[in-house]
Structure 1
Amino acid sequence: MERVFVGSEAVAAGHLTRHELQRWYHPLYRGVYLAKDTTPTLRDRVTAAWLASGRKGVIAGVAASALHGAEWVDADADIELIAQNTRSQSGLIVRDETLAADAMTKVAGIQVTTPARTAYDLGRHLPRGHAVAHLDALARATPFSTEDVLLLAKHHRGARGLRKLRAALPLVDAGAASPKETWLRLLVIDAGLPVPTTQIPVIERGYWPFAWLDMGWEDYKVSADYDGEQHQKDRPRYVRDHKRQRKLERLGWINIRVIKEDDADDVIRRTRDALRSRGWRP
């Protein structure tokens, strides 16, 4: 019997009794079960959603991006499903939308929207910041064509969220290695600062970079790095970061390090002051 299964099918096949089903398993979605002592993974919930649609639905949105290899999708994220005759329920969002044959593909036997269609849905249905973060992660995992996404928008005139999609697409950058890096990039762009370049290699000598800067402006030798919690909790990494910072300063870089506790206005002020000190003018 599979890890995630349709309860009625398992009982009909004689794999377990209805009493055993109720005692040892719990439903992820209506009629679809997982063992009670098992913590469901995102893949479990994706499979359960597909089974709940009678194996006819197509996984979309954030869950689809994860199936295409995108990171930063939580195991308890709502599963989005494009299907007919299936009702939404807790943790499962069902949309009865038009889906062309060339907007679908298969990943590990499950129908899922293509990367372009996934991007189209992310940009329409999510708030701007979340949309760009997930689009960045999708682009990093499996590059998609912005033109293909806009072509989908053209074919679906009048669909909800197209204005949001068109606003988000120009901001997508596959160089963002985390949602917080996306947040930082959008922060400086929204403040009217120049659009930064992501993943800038810095070479001291030889051919191999000793540092990859999250984002920055090479012409001004100004950069910004977001330091997540792992930078403080991992002592060897903390030491490497300090040595790296000193090297960058020797090479003339102003590297602004940002942490979760920083005030956004202060981050903008520090970045603007650094750029101005290097000759940038609004």
Structure 2
Amino acid sequence: MNTSTPVPQNPNSAATTLDALSRAATAITRELSLPRTLQTITDIARELVQARYAALGVPDEDGGLKAFITSGMGPDEIRHSGGEPHGQGLLGALLETDATIRLDDLTQDGRSVGFPPEHPMMRRFLGVPIISHGERLGNLYLTDPLDNEPFSEDDERLIVLLANHAAVAIANARLSEQLQQIAQSRERDRIGMELHDGVIQSVYAIGMKLEILRGQFPMSAEQANQYQSVIGDLNQIIEDIRQYIRNLRSAREEQATFKQRLDN
């Protein structure tokens, strides 16, 4: 996942920095889609500290990464770099601590595992966890300021502040998606109930009336076959509606399972 968010060139004044952080907080709390929230956080982190590259890793239950959102690298560059990482090296080290990691030269750090052959070379590193009420929601990774200088203490403080805002935004987006899924599930239940208690019963009643009428009047063989064909069509309609109801329930269960995988 990647965007081409422009990076301002002169964020040196305190006023500019505070304004950027204020805009960042507004932007990430306004977005309620979880994927877009993660991308916005990543783009803004890169902008705030003038980094060449930024990423946001979402941890899985096995100590690795189940999602890795980037800013500053295009899809082709990501693909040629070996695809998304799985949480090894410094990325994995940040998964094991609640502290930030700031390095002038990541290649000299013993936790680094190097880069794939076509991966862009990176040197400066800043990693900050995103934590809410003791739960790790993700990690922010930034590399190589545009001025080629190491990340400063001010950069670290700025990204820590952003991570605090990001934790709230991610929690809000997750809650919003949960509420949407609950609403969709209830709507599916309502539709299924109306189909079962209303439409199916009505079609079944029509079929019963036709069966009764067939026994009350003499019919030729051709007429009897036509009657039977109509009754067969009605029975097929009932079965089709029942299958549709089963599909509604299956979609709800699959959605719940996917949500559990994302949360876990």
Q: Give the shorter-chain TM-score range.
A: under 0.3
TM-score (norm 1): 0.23
Higher helix share: 2
Higher strand share: 1
